[in-house]
Every structure is written in structure tokens, then in C-alpha cells.
């Protein structure tokens, strides 16, 4: 497969994630959209590194590190969302903005 196909896939993932992040009000759905956007960026980065420097694994190692950080970020995001839901029974971004006091 050519590099262009991978970049089209990356752009499609990013576009779907952007639409999901901007069109939803649920905190969980926004987080899923952000994850799709990051995955689109990672697919593009891996494809570029594979086609530009296929002999070295530096790019792939960096992407694996980024994926590990993404997993931790999602776990922390879900933990905060669950804590907000348990404390205030809030699961939408409109209601989460009024959390002072």
C-alpha cells in the first residue's frame, strides 16, 4: 500500500474524531472523539516514519510510548468523569461547568 492510503486513513480518523468531539455533549463521547483524533495522528506518524526511514524503529518506539501515555490519560479521564458523576450526578458538559461549591 502507498503512503497516501495511510494518510487518507489518518485524516479520516482525525475528521471523525473532530466531529465526535465537537458535536457531543456527553463527557465520555467527547473523550472518545479526542482518542480518535490522537489515533489518526499516530497512524499518520507511523506511516510516515515507515515510508521515510524503514530501517530504524525510532518512530515506532515513540508511537508505542505515545499509546501508553494515551491509555493512562484515558484511565485518568474516566476516573475524573466517574468521580464527577458519583459526586454530582453529572454526565453532560453543560452541567459539569457549574461544579463550584
Handedness of CA 6, 8, 9, 10 (dihedral sign): positive
Burial grade of 98 (CB within 10 A; 0-12, 13-18, 19 or more): exposed
3-88 topology per CATH: Helix Hairpins (1.10.287)
Task: Sketch the domain layout of the chain as residue ranges.
Answer: 3-88
Please state the φ and ψ torsions of residue 90, each to the nearest 5 degrees: -115, 130
For the stretch 35-57, pLDDT in tens is: 999 999 999 988 888 888 877 77
How would residue 96 be classed by pLDDT, with cut points 50, 70 and 90? Answer: low
For the stretch 18-30, pLDDT in tens is: 999 999 888 888 8
- Please say whether the beta carbons of 51 and 62 come within 8 A: no
Amino acid at each position: 500500500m502507498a503512503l497516501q492510503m495511510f494518510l487518507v486513513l489518518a485524516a479520516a480518523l482525525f475528521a471523525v474524531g473532530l466531529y465526535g468531539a465537537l458535536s457531543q455533549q456527553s463527557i465520555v463521547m467527547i473523550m472518545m472523539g479526542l482518542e480518535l483524533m490522537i489515533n489518526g495522528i499516530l497512524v499518520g506518524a507511523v506511516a510516515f516514519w515507515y515510508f521515510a526511514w524503514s530501517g530504524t524503529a525510532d518512530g515506532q518506539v515513540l508511537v508505542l510510548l505515545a499509546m501508553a501515555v494515551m491509555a493512562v490519560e484515558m484511565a485518568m479521564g474516566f476516573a475524573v468523569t466517574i468521580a464527577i458523576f458519583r459526586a454530582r450526578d453529572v454526565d453532560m458538559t453543560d452541567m459539569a461547568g457549574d461544579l463550584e461549591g
